Amino acid sequence: MRNHMANEEQAEDTPEVLPAKGKDPWAHRSDGMKCGTCMFAVPKSGSINVGRCRRHAPTMNGYPVIFITDWCGDHKLDETKI
């Protein structure tokens, strides 16, 4: 009985970690990984929304074109762009 009481108390103290039903748990997960704050992004001269990603070597088409609102898993934060 005592263990049962302890488990109930612990369950009440445990913060809610699961998303509410119907909510997307992955929503806004990429907010901190945008190209606009990445050290590999080089803005196109004269533009504030478009640039090139220099994460990898260029292909025959050059470096990939990016928008500052794009993101990818290779994002590396550039603290000077925050």
| Position among 38, 46, 62, 67 found at the interface with ligand SF4 (CB under 6 A) | 38
Between 19 and 76, whose beta carbon lies closer to ligand SF4?
76
According to CB under 6 A, which residues from 6 to 25 bind ligand SF4? none
| Position among 30, 43, 55, 67 found at the interface with ligand SF4 (CB under 6 A) | 55
Structure tokens at 23: 């909510």
68 binds ligand SF4 (CB under 6 A): no
CB 44 within 8 A of CB 52: yes
End-to-end CA distance of the chain: 54
CB of 56: closest distance to ligand SF4 in angstroms?
8
Element containing residue 66 per DSSP (H, E): strand 65-67
* Nearest residue to 58 via CA among 76, 40, 71: 40
Q: Which residues bind ligand SF4 (CB under 6 A)?
A: 35, 38, 40-41, 53, 55, 66, 70-72, 74-75
